[in-house]
């Protein structure tokens, strides 16, 4: 129920702001501006944790912080005009195009990597290994028996691969063609639909092959693994000659990507200290994965998990705001 | 001919038309068949518009948008400054309401803001609503208010619900009053009606996602942009219904107003609007319902509240939490709708009871103030009265997730069989058929339909709009849209109209039906969409379930409303003439209710098209998906082009149906004499 706690968080911060600024703010350097720094919240847990963590750290440094809910990609309109200031998670794998368009205007700035790496690939539950024994090697998918095992009435005799929403890109249609896989790519419309199908199949121990990404709660909740494609290189996507198919690009797996922090270009001038802190922020996949699991599967609140991390890692975050 | 007005006769064409129409249809179908068979080889451009010929409309719109945001200026101030001023106008009342309901009066901003005065506590707000409900309609409504708000409170939705309520409190009056004013203008000036009709269609049918990006650019990020989008979306039905309701005012009343020497202003506000009030309230009902329907999308651009809770619960596949937040939205809708309806009735009555209203309302106002003050003081002594303790909150926990799991594990194969049968035998063949048609042929047929139903102008409009869709390079997506929405509308009407007929003269049934359709229309589709995905996988079938569930409401509502409105004297006359109940229904009641039912069909189509945004979320490949892609890439031009294509489909459908309805009315008006 961590979402409900957000509105509560707002109230909580309102009431304790004075205490904070008296108790801690004076100990630190004065913030350059008392205007609130607006950080955006999206609708997945990892991002909520990252953003709250950053917000708490900035508050410790005496800054005025406001958390605003905004859509992952629509937020760029706000970042360009300066209505919003910082977005803590912009995934290389899904947000690159929008981010490039925004930074090209000169009004949005890439504030550097978060330290987390986005992993995205074809994924299957472990029980599918019995029906398609060659996995996780991608060559196993080429056999008709494997395709059959993953097929549905609509796609038979081809296998069914549930890809991400069209908007995520990912070149799965091209990949299937380049690697000559007997599979049909069906695009889920949203993240929620994607995992609803996984949940459904997992409950029935039914066949499913789909796009899963990390950091996310799904790889922690469901037992399974990623298909191992030929490793991604930049040439694979641009040069047809690379890889097993001499005539087509995309004959490899998906890239690992940075998760970036982006912000309004004016942040640097208005709150230089906060800008440095945001730039310094880093956390790795394992720590984040553990926190997401605590929230989504163990039912803890985001606040509690963030406070817990802050308590255990004081040396880490106090270095960011020096 | 007596029952048919001159304008409708002119639009419907003369009775000789059918024979002429028949010839035209035969010729047209012949030409169409020839085209279909040969287009691919002889004239490929007639089958599929060549990519190279597609003008870069989308690019130009995006460039214009950039200019508007960055450079446009009137000399004194820039265009962006102007729009920001407008959003400040909306923001002020919103902040005020939000302060009362949720945040309390704050000094300062962000996390350093200090609360000067607390918000009205839950006890105070429930108290005020109960008093208002009692004032409007007595004890029953007061109990309903307690039930609705009690649910929200006990299930821990209070904070989010107040945020949502604040934006509704600002958006609904703006939408209702704006819609009424447009309706009055359209009623008074035919030219204005003709000018505004396509604008209304655009407002209602361009998917919200298409204009979300420009709104964000111009009006800034956050709740204000969401409120503006809500108003744009929720206002058109109010205008339409206002026009119909004003037209429906009995001529005697109008004559009376004229005879007593009313000025035009008195005529409007003292005679016409009160007399049209029952019809207008249907419009207000729609504004409330549609505003609450926008809650999910509004939360995507920073409105927060219950919509955000629904979205994030479903991302965790926590169906129970999603349903609780969704039902909280429904509870708000029911409460606001019933209370406003009741108030409308009492104000009409009071207007007749010559101005005793103020004196009788006074004690309620005082009582409401007293409750607010008392609840504040009581909250100081007893904190649970100010904030409902978390420990007392209820939750359905994992019950709903478990239920879905149980159905999934036990019945998936049966459901899959039903789905596959429908998909393989109906949906996919129809889709293939539509996608295989040459665009030129379809445009031609739309034109012929327009010509035989109405005349040259409608024919020209239909051909022009269809051609524009083809030229924009979105023909395939457009045909997928027609297939998905067309089939859904057919299903919705097949289910909805009989239910409307059945429940119209059964008040008890009607009350239940009304509750169900209100729920379907306000419960965010997302709440049931994800369980449906679990049972039916992503794709067209799931999308269709969502569209039918949502578009069902107007089919039922307008049918029943139309039947209600039939003059009892005419039914009595029919009964006296010895009609059987079936004859009574078909020959008198349905016939007279036809204009309303056609309005219902029209609204069903509009709502089906407005669901495209949601269906894109379960992986359809139609215009909705195109709009959604444009949104995620913040591509103003691409979104608007796709949005306009949706609107064109809607306008063609709307005009053809309106013309068909006019013809049907003309024919029915004649059938008493000849019967052929």
Asked whether residue A124 carries a pLDDT value surpassing 90, the answer given is: yes
Predicted local confidence at residue A18, as pLDDT:
41
- Separation in Å, CA of A120 to nearest CA in chain B: 18
| A161 in the same domain as A271 | no
Q: How confident is the model at residue B83 (pLDDT cuts 50, 70, 90)?
A: confident
Cβ B188 vs Cβ B51: under 8 Å:
no
Which residues contact residue B102 at a Cβ distance below 8 angstroms, ignoring those fewer than 6 apart?
A7, B119, B159, B162, B163, B166
* Owner of token pair 């205490």: A19
Strand partners, B115: B106
Determine, for residues A3 and B222 on separate chains, whether the beta-carbon distance falls below 8 Å: no
Picking from B63, B69, B112, B544 by the largest number of A CB atoms within 10 A of its own CB, the best residue to mutate is B112
Which residues contact residue A271 at a Cβ distance below 8 angstroms, ignoring those fewer than 6 apart?
A31, A32, A33, A37, A63
Residues of B in contact with A203 (CB under 8 A): 405, 408-409
Cβ B296 vs Cβ B311: under 8 Å:
yes
Q: How confident is the model at residue A26 (pLDDT cuts 50, 70, 90)?
A: very low
Determine, for residues A296 and B316 on separate chains, whether the beta-carbon distance falls below 8 Å: yes
| A146 in the same domain as A68 | no
| One-character DSSP codes across A30-78 | PPS--SPEEEEE-SSHHHHHHHHHHHHHHHHTT--EEEEE--TTTHHHH
CATH 1.10.3720.10 correct for B79-103+117-392: yes
Q: Does B632 touch chain A (CB under 8 A)?
A: yes
Determine, for residues A186 and B615 on separate chains, whether the beta-carbon distance falls below 8 Å: no
Domain span at residue A145? 118-238
Task: Give the Cα separation of B310 and B333 in Å (integer).
Answer: 16
Q: Does B106 touch chain A (CB under 8 A)?
A: yes
Determine, for residues B633 and A203 on separate chains, whether the beta-carbon distance falls below 8 Å: no
Mean pLDDT of B377-405: 80
Determine, for residues A193 and B617 on separate chains, whether the beta-carbon distance falls below 8 Å: yes
| A58 in the same domain as A132 | no
Predicted local confidence at residue B356, as pLDDT:
52
- Separation in Å, CA of A244 to nearest CA in chain B: 31
* Domain parsing of chain B, residue ranges: 6-63+399-671, 79-103+117-392
Residue A125 lies in a domain: yes
Determine, for residues B412 and A15 on separate chains, whether the beta-carbon distance falls below 8 Å: no
Q: Is A86 helix (H, G, I), strand (E, B) or coil?
A: strand
Instruction: State the average pLDDT for chain B.
Output: 82
CATH number at residue A209: 3.40.190.100
For the record, the structure tokens of A120 come out as: 């995205």
Strand partners, A226: A123
Structure ipTM = 0.76
Q: Does B309 touch chain A (CB under 8 A)?
A: yes
Q: Does B427 touch chain A (CB under 8 A)?
A: no
Residues of B in contact with A59 (CB under 8 A): 111
Determine, for residues B633 and A38 on separate chains, whether the beta-carbon distance falls below 8 Å: no
Q: Does B308 touch chain A (CB under 8 A)?
A: yes
Residues of B in contact with A7 (CB under 8 A): 102, 159-160, 163, 304
Determine, for residues B632 and A73 on separate chains, whether the beta-carbon distance falls below 8 Å: yes
Predicted local confidence at residue B162, as pLDDT:
92
Determine, for residues B216 and A11 on separate chains, whether the beta-carbon distance falls below 8 Å: no
Cβ B534 vs Cβ B404: under 8 Å:
yes
Asked whether residue B361 carries a pLDDT value surpassing 70, the answer given is: no
For the record, the structure tokens of B251 come out as: 């001529």
Picking from B99, B298, B537 by the largest number of A CB atoms within 10 A of its own CB, the best residue to mutate is B537
Q: Which ranges constitute the DSSP H helices of B248-356?
A: 251-259, 264-266, 273-275, 277-293, 295-300, 306-315, 319-352
Asked whether residue B10 carries a pLDDT value surpassing 60, the answer given is: no
Count of positions (residues) in chain B? 676
Determine, for residues B530 and A81 on separate chains, whether the beta-carbon distance falls below 8 Å: no
Mean pLDDT of B306-314: 85
| A199 in the same domain as A162 | yes
Phi first, then psi: give them for residue B107, nearest 5 degrees.
Answer: -115, 130
Determine, for residues A77 and B213 on separate chains, whether the beta-carbon distance falls below 8 Å: yes
| A227 in the same domain as A272 | no
Cα within 13 Å of Cα(B101), Cβ side:
24
Q: Is B90 helix (H, G, I), strand (E, B) or coil?
A: helix
Chain A to chain B Cβ contacts (< 8 Å): 203
Asked whether residue B225 carries a pLDDT value surpassing 90, the answer given is: no
- Nearest CB among A37, A71, A197 relative to B301 is that of A71
Nearest C-alpha neighbor of A84 from the set A239, A226, A263: A263
Task: Give the Cα separation of B356 and B359 in Å (integer).
Answer: 6
| A53 in the same domain as A87 | yes
DSSP B119: P
pLDDT single digits (tens) B459-472: 999 999 999 998 88
Predicted local confidence at residue A107, as pLDDT:
92
| One-character DSSP codes across B346-375 | HHHHHHHTTTTHHHHHHHHHHHHHHHHHHH
| A62 in the same domain as A16 | yes
| A138 in the same domain as A233 | yes
| A96 in the same domain as A122 | no
> Least CA distance to B615: which residue of chain A?
A189
Determine, for residues B159 and A7 on separate chains, whether the beta-carbon distance falls below 8 Å: yes
Strand partners, A211: A122
Residue A10 lies in a domain: yes
Identical topology for domains B6-63+399-671 and B79-103+117-392: yes
DSSP A254: P
- Separation in Å, CA of A274 to nearest CA in chain B: 15
End-to-end Cα distance, chain A:
34
CATH number at residue A12: 3.40.190.10
| CA A242 centroid distance within chain | 29
Task: Give the Cα separation of A172 and A253 in Å (integer).
Answer: 9
pLDDT single digits (tens) A36-66: 899 998 877 889 999 999 999 999 888 999 8
| CA A149 centroid distance within chain | 30
Determine, for residues B633 and A167 on separate chains, whether the beta-carbon distance falls below 8 Å: yes
Predicted local confidence at residue B486, as pLDDT:
92
Task: Give the Cα separation of A74 and A101 in Å (integer).
Answer: 12
Mean pLDDT of B51-59: 74
Cβ B328 vs Cβ B306: under 8 Å:
yes
DSSP B73: B
Domain count, chain A: 2
Mean pLDDT of A196-224: 89
State the Cα angle at B141 between B137 and B143, rounded to 5°: 140
Q: Does B303 touch chain A (CB under 8 A)?
A: yes
- Nearest CB among A10, A189, A196 relative to B616 is that of A189
* Candidates 3.40.50.280, 1.10.3720.10, 3.40.640.10, 3.40.50.11890; CATH matching B6-63+399-671: 1.10.3720.10
Strand partners, A68: A40
Q: Does B263 touch chain A (CB under 8 A)?
A: no
| A77 in the same domain as A131 | no
| A146 in the same domain as A186 | yes
Cβ B135 vs Cβ B361: under 8 Å:
yes
Residues of B in contact with A195 (CB under 8 A): 315, 317
- Separation in Å, CA of A73 to nearest CA in chain B: 5
Q: Which residue has the higher pLDDT, A58 or B371?
A: A58
Determine, for residues A1 and B156 on separate chains, whether the beta-carbon distance falls below 8 Å: yes
Determine, for residues B220 and A81 on separate chains, whether the beta-carbon distance falls below 8 Å: yes
- Separation in Å, CA of B50 to nearest CA in chain A: 23
- Nearest CB among B104, B160, B538 relative to A197 is that of B538
| A140 in the same domain as A91 | no
């Amino acid at each position: 129920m961590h979402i409900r706690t957000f509105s509560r968080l707002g109230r909580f911060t309102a009431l304790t702001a004075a205490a904070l600024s008296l108790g801690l703010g004076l100990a630190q350097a004065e913030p350059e501006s008392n205007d609130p720094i607006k950080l955006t919240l999206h609708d997945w847990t990892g991002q909520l944790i990252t953003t709250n963590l950053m917000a708490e750290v900035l508050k410790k440094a005496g800054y005025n912080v406001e958390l605003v809910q905004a859509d992952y990609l629509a937020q760029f309109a706000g970042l360009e005009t300066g209505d919003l200031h910082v977005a803590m998670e912009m995934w290389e794998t899904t947000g690159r195009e929008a981010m490039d368009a925004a930074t090209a205007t000169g009004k949005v700035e890439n504030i550097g990597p978060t330290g987390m790496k986005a992993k995205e690939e074809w994924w299957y539950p472990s029980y599918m290994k019995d029906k398609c024994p060659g996995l996780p090697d991608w060559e196993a998918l080429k056999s008709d028996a494997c395709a059959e095992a993953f097929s549905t009435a609509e796609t038979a005799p081809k296998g069914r691969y549930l890809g991400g929403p069209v908007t995520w890109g990912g070149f799965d249609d091209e990949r299937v063609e380049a690697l000559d896989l007997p599979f049909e790519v069906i695009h889920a419309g949203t993240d929620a639909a994607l995992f609803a199908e996984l949940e459904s199949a997992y409950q029935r121990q039914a066949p499913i092959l789909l796009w899963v990404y990390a950091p996310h709660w799904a790889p922690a909740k469901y037992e399974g693994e990623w298909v191992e494609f030929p490793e991604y290189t930049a040439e694979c996507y641009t040069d047809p000659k690379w890889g097993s198919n001499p005539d087509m690009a995309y004959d490899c797996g998906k890239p690992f990507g940075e998760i970036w922090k982006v912000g309004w270009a004016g942040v640097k001038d208005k709150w230089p200290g906060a800008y440095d802190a945001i730039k310094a922020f880093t956390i790795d996949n394992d720590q984040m994965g553990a926190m997401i699991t605590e929230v989504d599967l163990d039912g803890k609140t985001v606040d509690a998990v963030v406070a817990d991390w802050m308590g255990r890692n004081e040396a880490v975050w106090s270095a960011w705001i020096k | 001919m007596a029952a048919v007005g001159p304008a409708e006769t002119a639009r419907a064409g003369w009775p000789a038309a059918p024979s002429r129409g028949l010839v035209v249809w035969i010729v047209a179908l012949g030409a169409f068949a020839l085209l279909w068979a040969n287009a691919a080889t002889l004239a490929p451009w007639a089958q599929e518009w060549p990519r190279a010929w597609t003008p870069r409309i989308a690019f130009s719109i995006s460039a214009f948008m950039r200019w508007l945001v960055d450079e446009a200026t009137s000399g004194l101030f820039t265009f962006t400054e102007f729009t920001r001023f407008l959003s400040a106008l909306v923001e002020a009342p919103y902040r005020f309401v939000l302060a009362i309901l949720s945040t309390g009066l704050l000094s300062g901003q962000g996390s350093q803001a200090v609360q000067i005065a607390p918000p009205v506590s839950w006890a105070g707000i429930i108290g005020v609503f109960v008093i208002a409900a009692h004032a409007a309609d007595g004890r029953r409504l007061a109990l309903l208010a307690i039930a609705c708000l009690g649910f929200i409170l006990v299930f821990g939705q209070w904070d989010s619900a107040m945020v949502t309520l604040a934006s509704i409190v600002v958006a609904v009056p703006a939408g209702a009053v704006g819609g009424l004013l447009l309706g009055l203008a359209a009623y008074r000036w035919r030219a204005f009606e003709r000018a505004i009709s396509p604008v209304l269609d655009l407002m209602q049918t361009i998917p919200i996602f298409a204009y979300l990006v420009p709104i964000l650019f111009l009006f800034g990020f956050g709740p204000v942009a969401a409120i503006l989008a809500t108003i744009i979306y929720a206002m058109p039905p109010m205008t339409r219904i206002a026009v119909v309701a004003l037209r429906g005012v009995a001529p005697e009343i109008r004559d009376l107003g004229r005879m007593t020497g009313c000025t035009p202003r008195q005529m409007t506000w003292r005679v016409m609007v009160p007399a049209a009030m029952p019809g207008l309230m249907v419009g207000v009902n729609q504004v409330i319902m549609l505003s609450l329907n926008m809650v999910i999308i509004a939360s995507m651009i920073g409105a927060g509240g219950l919509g955000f809770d629904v979205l994030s619960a479903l991302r965790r596949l926590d169906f129970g939490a999603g349903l609780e937040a969704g039902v909280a939205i429904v509870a708000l809708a029911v409460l606001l709708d019933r209370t406003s309806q009741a108030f409308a009735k009492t104000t009409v009555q009071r207007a007749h009871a010559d101005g005793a209203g103020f004196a009788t309302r006074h004690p309620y106002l005082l009582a409401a103030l007293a409750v607010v003050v008392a609840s504040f003081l009581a909250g100081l002594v007893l904190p649970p009265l100010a904030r409902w303790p978390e420990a007392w909150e209820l939750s359905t926990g994992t019950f709903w997730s478990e239920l879905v799991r149980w159905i999934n594990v036990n019945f998936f194969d049966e459901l899959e069989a039903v789905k596959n049968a429908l998909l393989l035998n109906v949906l996919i063949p129809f889709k293939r058929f539509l996608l295989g048609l040459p665009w030129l042929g379809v445009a031609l047929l739309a034109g012929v339909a327009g010509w035989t139903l109405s005349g040259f102008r409608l024919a020209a409009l239909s051909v022009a709009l269809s051609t524009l869709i083809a030229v924009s390079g979105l023909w395939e997506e457009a045909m997928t849209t027609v297939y998905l929405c067309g089939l859904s509308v057919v299903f919705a009407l097949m289910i909805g109209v009989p239910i409307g007929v059945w429940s119209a003269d059964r008040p008890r049934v009607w009350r239940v039906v009304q509750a169900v359709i209100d729920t379907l229309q306000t419960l965010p589709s997302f709440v049931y969409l994800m369980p449906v995905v679990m049972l039916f996988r992503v794709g067209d079938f799931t999308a269709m379930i969502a569209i039918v569930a949502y578009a069902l409401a107007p089919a039922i509502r307008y049918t029943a409303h139309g039947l209600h409105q039939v003059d009892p004297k005419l039914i009595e006359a029919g009964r006296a003439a010895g009609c059987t109940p079936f004859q009574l229904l078909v020959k008198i009641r349905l016939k007279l209710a036809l204009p309303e039912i056609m309005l219902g069909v029209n609204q069903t189509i509009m709502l089906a098209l407005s669901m495209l945004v949601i269906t894109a979320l379960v992986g359809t490949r139609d215009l909705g998906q195109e709009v959604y892609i444009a949104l995620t890439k913040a591509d103003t031009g691409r979104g608007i082009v796709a949005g306009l294509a949706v609107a064109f489909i809607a306008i063609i459908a709307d005009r053809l149906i309106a013309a068909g309805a006019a013809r049907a009315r003309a024919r029915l008006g004649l059938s008493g004499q000849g019967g052929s």
